[in-house]
Structure 1
Amino acid sequence: MSVSVVVPIYNEVENIPLLHRAVSDVMQQLGRPYELILVNDGSKDGSNAALERLAQADPCVKVLEFRRNYGQTAAMQAGIQAASYEVTVLLDGDLQNDPTDIPMMLDKIDEGYDLVHGWRKNRQDTFINRKLPSKVANWIISKVTGFPVHDLGCTLKAVRTEIAQELQLYGEMHRFIPILAHWRGARCVEVVTNHHPRRFGQSKYGISRTTRVILDLMTVKYLIQYVVSPMKLFGMIGLVCGLVASLAGVGTLWMKLASGVDMTGNPLLLLTCLSAMLGVQFFFMGMLGEMCSRIFFEVRGMPNYAIRRTWNVEAPAALPLSAGDRRAA
């Protein structure tokens, strides 16, 4: 099984030669065809020159250079799309992940798993601004998504390339790769991996990323549960608003008819009107969401299901072009 190793690089000039040597040693011992894809995410410390020298000296090294810093998620997405081998291994460029864990993860892939993600059980980071927020975030993510996980922040992962290239990563969603892959039907497993203290440079992440992770978690929750049928979410909220409007309306009429209460400025009357308007708006949002969902899948040519394998099944014949399509062609 051939392997593409993808590593985002941002201001890691001291780590690059050590990283290359460590990954090359491991992969050469495995004896599998491999490529090392290094994505320069707008580094400003001389990393680009170091990467260029590596690419010239080692034909297994491929380098992608961004025009500016786009973030780790974009770098991973670019590396995954450039991968040409059967399994993609994601690795940090700071040497805190251990390349010697790669063979163990590939063995899990050989056992039939589609994605193997690491758990830094003995994490070598500061407690207050790294380990504690990570533990809290992982607990919240596990409860919200229903996906059992200890350490979504661990970059070290091995995933079948065909599955990795189905995922569309934005924002800070590289942390949610196992959850997104699981949503697409991938068989995932978490394994304990080594973790080393940083030797050179400074960490690019701190406690400030918490807000972005929470916002992306809301997006992921929507994607894995409601993207195929948004009406289930917005329609349900609309029904609740309609129920509140009905109850408040009945209460308003009872107060007017039974007690003769003046309705001018009555809170129940205002609640009735507000709930009714919100209910209608949420129903229309659900309908628009349903249309957008169908456009999303049809434009990308991606079905809302995933097939693991087939036997004795031929590729479907191409559908005939419409008159408009024929004119465009």
Structure 2
Amino acid sequence: MKLSVVIPAYNEQDSIPETLRSLYVTLSKYGIPHEIFVTNDNSKDRTAEVLDQLMLEIPTLVYQTNPGPNGFGYAVRYGLERFSGDCVAVFMADMSDDPEDLVKFYNKMLEGDYDCVFGSRWNKGGKVVDYPQLKKYINRLANFIIRITMGIRYNDTTNAFKLYKRETMEGLKPFLSPHFNLTVELPLKAMVRGYTFAVVPNSWTNRKYGESKLKIKEMGSRYFFILMYCLIEKFFSRGDFRKKTAKPSVPVSR
């Protein structure tokens, strides 16, 4: 099963080389067929130039520049419309996600034939390194609200790092979120629409270079919108968007 890794990148000239080299070395070590698809989100620094150089040493790397509209959600969606694999993971350009965790996600999907594999930094075996205290408080509060509102047990909905089968991703369309709220839209839709998933502990490490693109004060209402949309779909869509299962064959009378 070919794995695609979609990476949105905006002004990541310093972080992207380490991220892509580590990702390629790890996936190659385990013999995982893959592509690394980077969406250059119209970066204003040397990100495109750095990617051009990296393509000469990483044979599985492809990148395209998103001409616009721009923003995290748009950049991820750009990649999700163009990846070539049988399954796809969203992975951050700042090396906050661990490629070894992606291998665990991939193997878990194969072992259980799950439609999705979600990570949790807060379950036993998960960890965070240098997580800003205010951001951690807001993260835990937001995930608590999501769990209570949606009636789910999963406790790390807001993290982008997740793995989906191609047919699952197709079943989550159309995408609504242009910003970081896409990280909530994808897993909540998957749950509401009846796709199977497993949860695997994973780690998160704060970025070494540049600055986070997430502006917390701008995202509250956008997260709330997506949460309310998924809640309405859960209770009022009458199953119109649920995963389609194959009908059992009917024996033919002779």
TM-score by length of 2: 0.86
- SS of 1:135's partner is helix
Deviations 1:185-232, CA, capped at 9 Å, x for gaps: 211122210111210011111431222211221122123332358xxx
In 1: Cα distance, 2:51 partner to 2:38 partner = 8
**Aligned Cα root-mean-square deviation (Å):** 2.1
In 2: Cα distance, 1:13 partner to 1:162 partner = 33
Say yes or no: does 1:179 pair with 2:188. yes
Unaligned runs of 5+ in 2: none
CA contact (8 A) 2:90 2:161 kept: yes
CA contact (8 A) 2:4 2:88 kept: yes
In 1: Cα distance, 2:121 partner to 2:37 partner = 23
Amino acid at match of 1:198: R
Quote how far apart the aligned CAs of 1:2 are: 1.3
CA contact (8 A) 2:171 2:243 kept: no
In 1: Cα distance, 2:150 partner to 2:226 partner = 12
Say yes or no: does 1:60 pair with 2:60. yes
**Counterpart residue number, 2:161:** 156
Say yes or no: does 1:131 pair with 2:153. no
In 2: Cα distance, 1:195 partner to 1:176 partner = 21
**Counterpart residue number, 1:22:** 22
- SS of 2:44's partner is coil
**Counterpart residue number, 2:38:** 38
In 2: Cα distance, 1:166 partner to 1:26 partner = 29
**Counterpart residue number, 1:117:** 118
Structure 2 counterparts to residues 145-224 of structure 1, below 5 A? 145-167=150-172, 168-171=174-177, 172-208=181-217, 209-224=219-234
In 2: Cα distance, 1:87 partner to 1:24 partner = 17
Amino acid at match of 2:234: I
In 2: Cα distance, 1:80 partner to 1:41 partner = 14
CA contact (8 A) 1:74 1:169 kept: no
- SS of 1:113's partner is coil
Alpha carbons of structure 1 residues 311 and 76: separation in structure 2 relative to 1, 3 Å? farther
Amino acid at match of 2:243: A
Alpha carbons of structure 1 residues 46 and 137: separation in structure 2 relative to 1, 3 Å? same
Deviations 1:153-201, CA, capped at 9 Å, x for gaps: 2221111111112222222233231111122221112221011121001
In 1: Cα distance, 2:234 partner to 2:148 partner = 14
Alpha carbons of structure 1 residues 306 and 211: separation in structure 2 relative to 1, 3 Å? closer
Greater Rg over alpha carbons, structure: 1
Quote how far apart the aligned CAs of 1:134 are: 0.9
Alpha carbons of structure 1 residues 191 and 200: separation in structure 2 relative to 1, 3 Å? same
- SS of 1:204's partner is coil
Quote how far apart the aligned CAs of 1:7 are: 0.7
In 1: Cα distance, 2:98 partner to 2:241 partner = 36
Say yes or no: does 1:71 pair with 2:76. no
CA contact (8 A) 1:11 1:47 kept: yes
In 2: Cα distance, 1:212 partner to 1:10 partner = 20
Kindly tell me the number of residue pairs found equivalent between the two proteins: 239
- SS of 2:171's partner is coil
Amino acid at match of 1:177: L
- SS of 1:218's partner is helix
Deviations 1:128-174, CA, capped at 9 Å, x for gaps: 1x111111111111111122221112221111111112222222233
State percent identity of aligned pairs.
Answer: 25
- SS of 2:204's partner is coil
In 1: Cα distance, 2:247 partner to 2:87 partner = 20
- SS of 2:207's partner is coil
From the two aligned structures, give the one with the greater helix fraction: 1
Amino acid at match of 1:49: E
TM-score by length of 1: 0.67
Structure 2 counterparts to residues 278-289 of structure 1, below 5 A? none
In 2: Cα distance, 1:64 partner to 1:309 partner = 36
In 2: Cα distance, 1:82 partner to 1:310 partner = 30
